[in-house]
Every structure is written in structure tokens, then in C-alpha cells.
Structure 1
Amino acid sequence: MTSENTRPVRESSAPRHIAFLSKTLAMDFLVPAYREQFPDAALYLGDDLQALIASGHSDDIDVAVCWHPPAEQLAVLSGLKLVQSIAAGIDHIDLGSLAPFVPVCRIIDTEMGSGMTAFVCWAVIHRQRHMDRYIEHATNRRWQEEPIVAPVRHRVGIAGMGSLGLSCARALLAIGYDVRGWSRSPKTGLPADLKAFHGETQKAEFLGGCDTLICLLPLTGETAGFLDLALMRQLPRGAHLINVGRGAHLVEDDLLTALDEGQVGAVTLDTFNIEPLPPGHPFWNDERILITPHIATRTAPRVIAQQTALNFAAISKGRAKEVAVDLERGY
């Protein structure tokens, strides 16, 4: 079922009241872009939003712009016509706190692909060419060459062949890597040089040829915990794992076991179950794990504001199905 059934909205195609909700991110960086896009709208965040809720006028809010929004705040915004994620996914939103008729939209940003592609190519090259060791050598003023393996001899697998996965695959192929892709269902329009796999029956064959495995799957009920010990044991011994999907794709204890076994040799993580990653988390103390603070790619605030306007206009005209996420699929 999609979130296409919405209650009537005002004839105006622009929201009057917009709230910014997050329990992990300061959302004020979005305010200038939203003020420019919606000059007549009242914007609420932080103390102003709390005051509005306390006043009993929370039903004035038309749009909730969200990144890990507090469920209790979403639940009291009874007048919502749109919940706008600021990311490509909606897994960070507690859908149970919403009325069933509220459309939920995600960001579809063509610029996001270039940012993710640059990050993924860096992460692959950084480990495959032993750049981590060269940084250590330089710190110690040591001139030492590490083994050089041509990209064509290094097999890179991408789990998730959506727009971001496809962009990364094309770039890695252009560099010269041996690239393979896996998706839950067959894909068309893939590059001719890409080795394509799909479904559970082809997953083991795909994993067996991944010297580096990149997770770019959407987070759904089916893909949560995708990166578990059983999967890691199907990779070539000493493989490099890169997770730029969602933190919930990874079973953290299983990763530590796979590292201790030597099954996984190196890890690059940009997303985590808890963000920011707590200072006492064991990942910080493992030199085999490279941590980046969820910065693989970002969408510009102006793009988020523009897509919010387009989504709200479509919903106002009864075309929510065209812009809203299919809540069963999660994207």
C-alpha cells in the first residue's frame, strides 16, 4: 500500500507552517533555504517548536522536515500534510507515530550521486592501494613501498544497484576495477562490463567474488541486518567491507567476530546504529575500522527546500502517489 490517500488540503500549494525535527542533528542550517523558498511561511524548530506544541496549536504545522525526528513530536502534529525526509531514505522516521494518510517523501537528488561516487571510489582506493599504510609511513618519515595490484585484479562488489550504486559502478569501471553488482530483483540498463547478480539464489556467487564489498542497499525490513556473520563468511578471506547504506544494515557484533577471525580484513563505515557513535564504542579502538561521521554525501539545503515545495504542490493537487514513498517497499 502506498501513502496516496490524503485528506483535503488548502487550495494554496504552499505550506504556511513548517517544522524541523531531529534528535541528532541541528536543523538550523536548512532555515535560510526554506525562508527563501517559502517567504510567507512560519518556520519552527527547537524552543519555538516546543512552545507551539505547548500552546496547543501543533495542528497548525503543515510540513515536518525530518532527520531522526522524535516520535513524540511527530505524533502531536495532527495537521500534517507532508513529512519530508532530508535524505534518500525514510528508515529514520518512526512511521507508527504518523496518521496513515500522511504522505512521506524522500529526497531524490542527482547531485547526491557524484558525492557518493567520490566517497566510494576514495574508500576503495584507500585500502586497495594501501594508502592507510603510506600515511603511517609518512608520519614516521619512512620511504617504503607497499604491494601494487592493478585495479583490474581487484574485484569490487556493490550490493544495491539503485541510482547511487549504478553511479559508483560506472566510476569504478572507468578506473579499471573488476565490478559486480547485486540487487534483490533483476535490473535493466546496466553497464555492459558489469557482472550482474540478483536474488538469494545468486547472492553466494556474488559474494564469493568481492575483494571489496560495498553496501548501498535501501534499508527495509528485508535488508536490516544484511551484513551479518553468515554473509561475511562468504566473502574472500581478508575482504574489505564498506557500509555507506544505513547503520542497521550491519550486525556490529558479527563484524567484530569476522575481524577477529581474519575473515574481514578492513572496514570503512560511514553509517551507524547510533549516531553520533558513542566515545566508548569498540569500533573507535580498532585500527582495522575506518570511521567517517555520516558524510559520504550530502544534499544541498536549496535542493531539499525545492523538493519540499514540489512535493507539497503535488500533494495539494491530489497527486501524492507521484511523489510519496511506497511505505511497504521503503523507497
Structure 2
Amino acid sequence: MEAERNSAACAAAVVAAEAAEAAALKSSAKYDEKLKALDESNRSLQAQLRGALDESYQSSARAEALAAQIEEVQRGGAVASEAVNSNAQATQQALRTVELEKAKWKKAHEQVLAERESIAQKLQEAEAALGAAEASLAAAAESAERSGKEAVERAVRQTEASAKEEAAALRLKLAQAHSDGTALRAQLDSQAAERETLLSSVSSSFAPTSSASPLPRGPDVISALQASVTAALKRPEGWWAYSVCVAYGGGNAFSLHRRYSDFTQLHAKLRAGAPDVRLPPLPPKRSLQTQSKSFVETRRQELHEYLCFLLAERSLRLNPAIHAFLELGMALGHLA
């Protein structure tokens, strides 16, 4: 019985041992699993620690850089503060200057106002004086008008009479010149063939119309001198030449050609040599491109009247400039 109990106890012990072993094995497996989990957790923590250390190093570097930037900003702030203080001082000085200028301007403005009032007062006084002067002047003018009206009318009448006499004398001279020109044209009509030959040459040529008539002497040449601008010829070069027929008594005549510029030179010489003599104006000047035939014919007539007026004046007829213009050298040689 006891052996059975021992056997049963042994069997129970074996069963318990097996159960304990199974439990131990099961516990060992769980332990291994826990160790593995702990190992993995340890590796994860180490990785996190290394990451944290790296971030700490980076944060430290950033902190140092940030500290340097803060220090630089602080230095810049100090400089800016000094500049602001300096600007504030300058601004205060400028404000003080502005206040002084305002005070000066105000004082000057007050002076201007005072001067304006003084000027206004003087202006009123001047206007009053001017009114009195105008009234006095009006009275004086009325008196002078009454007293001097007859004298003015007499002076006007005298001036008008003098002008009329001078105009009449000029008209007589022009009429005489036109009459002389008409007579000369009638005389030259009988010499048409000879004149046409002379007109074809630019240089002057002498051609006495009567070989039987004796050549007049110098004084006779001057007294009988007549000239006429008879025609206008257009030269191949494009400019116009005016034919001047000169008659100097005894049926003697010749023709020569003169350009408008020759007349202007003669006019200038006469004005310089005889400043007291009133000369008629020359025809207007115009460029070659705008000189039509009608314009040239009108100019010819005006040059003819101009030349007749010159020869109607005895003082001008004796002028050497006209003698040279008309080439009277040979005819006047008898003076010697």
C-alpha cells in the first residue's frame, strides 16, 4: 500500500515535473521573446539617441550661428541708435534754424506790409497830383490849341505848297525825259538795220549815222546827250542784257549792253559821289529763275525812266560815273 502510494506519489511527481518542465519551457520561450523585444527596443533607443545627439549638435551649431547673428544685430542696433541720435540732433538743429527763418520771414513780411501801406499812400498822393496835372495840362492844351491852330494850319499849307512844287518839278523832269526818249526812239527808227547789228554784240561799238556831220565837241556832247533803254536780250548764259542807245548830237549814236548789276553799281557810285542829289529808286531785284518776259519788259521800261531822269539833271549829266557807264570817252576826248 505504501509502495503504491509512493508509486502514485512518484507518478504525480513525474507529472508535476513534466508540467513544471513544460511550464519552464514555455516561460523560457516567452523570456526569449522578451529578450528579443528588449534587444530591438534597445537598438531603437540607441538609434533615437544617436539621432537626438545629431540634432543636439546641429541645434548647438544653429544656436551659435543665431547667437552670432544676434550679436551682429546688437552691434548694428548700437550703430543705428547712434545714427538716429545724430539725426535727431540734426533735426532739432534744423527745426531751430527753421524757427529762426520763420521769425525773419515774419519780420520781413511785416516790413513789406508796412512798405505796401506806405506805397499805397504815396500812390494815392501821386494819383491826386496826376489828376491835378492832367487837369492843368488839359487846360494848357486847350489854350495852346486855340492859340496855335492858325500857326499849325499855316505851316501845313506851306508844307503842302512846297511838296506840290517839288512834285510838279519832278513831273516836269520826268515828262521832259519821256519826251526826249520819244524823240530818240523816232530818230532811231530810221536806223533799225544798223541797230539790229549792234544789238547782236555784247561789247559796245561806235557807228556814226552820218559821216558828213562833224563830230560834236565835249560841251556839245554833254548838252545833247540822250540815252534810251531800247530792248532786253537774254544771253545764252541765262542772264538778261539791256540794250542802251546813246545819242550825243549831230546825228551820232551808238548802242551798248548793260546788265542790271551795272545799273546798281552806277546807282551806288552816284549816291557816294553826289549824296545831296535825290535819286529815283531802281527796279526791284529778282532771281534769274523768276524773271519772266513780262517782268523783264517792265524792268526795261523802269530802267529807261531811271536813265532819262539821270540825264535830265545837269549835275548828274556831268558826273564821270555816268560818262563811264555810257562809254563817252571817245566823244568827250574833244574837250582837250
Q: TM-score, normalised by structure 1?
A: 0.19
Relative to its length, the structure with more helix (as a share) is 2
Greater relative contact order (CA < 8 Å, ≥ 6 in sequence): 1
Bigger strand fraction? 1
- Give the number of the structure whose alpha-carbon radius of gyration is greater: 2
